[in-house]
Amino acid sequence: MPGFELFGAEEKKEVQDVLDNGVLMRYGFDGNRNGHHKALELEKDLATRMQTKYAQVVSSGTSALTVALASAGIGAGDEVIMPTFTFVASFEAILSVGAVPILCDIDDTLTLDPKAVEAAITKKTKVVMPVHMCGSMADLDALKTICNKHNLILLEDACQAIGGTYSGKPLGSYGDLGCFSFDYVKTVTCGEGGGLITNSETYADRAHKYQDHGHDHIGNDRGAETHPFLGYNFRISELNAAVGIAQLRKLDHTLLIQEKNYTILREALTSIPEVTFRRVPEKGVESYAFLNIFLPNEELAKKAHQALGKQGVDACFYWYDNNWHYYKKWKHLLEVKSLSKFSEEIQSGLRKNNRSFPDSDAWMSRTISCLIKVGWTEDEVKKRASNMVEAIKSIL
């Protein structure tokens, strides 16, 4: 998955452009740029690649989610439905705009269960936010139907699934807004960075102002720009954007490698009857960033994970006990621990999450996800496949 495995002359050329002109900030200093506007170029490229009208690049995937929520008018006391399996950034972004993350069960897609979403909706619900974890997606048709029925916003967190598609559309473009992470270990990396996409002119206009202190970006004089509303600093630097330009051009090539390596591993594991695979919705094509498997029960999943490690198979994750990615270890969220003080309304909303999610536990306790790297040789992938089969067979 990591794009940094493919760093080369293309990234160096784009970064050198920035170093040569000396302008590292995306706004202003037009006389010194020699025509280089890397963040703007990355936005145009991202919108084109994702088949949307607008794109905004920012400093991280967390920033992208925060800006997207703010641009959609989400704030104090609004509830945002999110899955129990995600990265902590999902609920951090929701809280940062004053809204309340509401945890919701996942199904065998490893993201939001539409039936659980329908049951979680209240008068305060404003957004449904599926997180396309580990390269694949939820049943977006079902979620879109629910959102239309209840007049809710569908916000796709596609930070781990850039390059996947649903119903022929790039992931992130199916909902009202979509977000990506371009951090160091993503399929497309800027080192640090993120982006959001939308077809809404209103959301796009708000986003480009909100991520830069509320500046309207009218005219060439930064000091004379007005501030239609409050904003914050979520800008990306020209250096980070420059890396992203070269990386995004490689996306199709990267996806082909990921699919090839994924297929070799999956075909090898199909020889083990006890191993089953994550469900990809009928209209979906995953990005092949991870191979996600189920063992028959929790005990065997834990043993398989340990056996894979002993066999030298790295980058395989047992999320059920992971501090960053599964609700059971999110004590800071469940117990409302923060350096800042939340209103009683938000605290009350957050307490809804301090309960068990047995349906999610049933899936995650059996799940192992294996990262697909793009730097492997074919011989390395085949050896890895053999080692995986041997490790898992040893515990059955």
Rounded Cα distance between 169 and 161, Å, is 13
**Which tokens is 118 given?**
């329908």
51: amino acid identity, one letter = Q
**Which tokens is 296 given?**
């028959």
Please enumerate in sequence order all residues whose Cβ is within 8 A of that of 208, keeping only pairs 6 or more positions apart, or say none: 56, 217
With CA atoms as reference, report the closest residue to 295 among 363, 361, 385, 371.
363
| Residue 186 bears catalytic tag | yes
Give the residue carrying structure tokens 């995650």: 364
Please enumerate in sequence order all residues whose Cβ is within 8 A of that of 24, keeping only pairs 6 or more positions apart, or say none: 18, 237, 238, 239
Q: Pick the catalytic residue: 186, 209, 250, 373?
A: 186
Our CA angle for 137, 258, 89, nearest 5°, is 45
- Look at the chain and count its residues: 396
Catalytic residues: 186
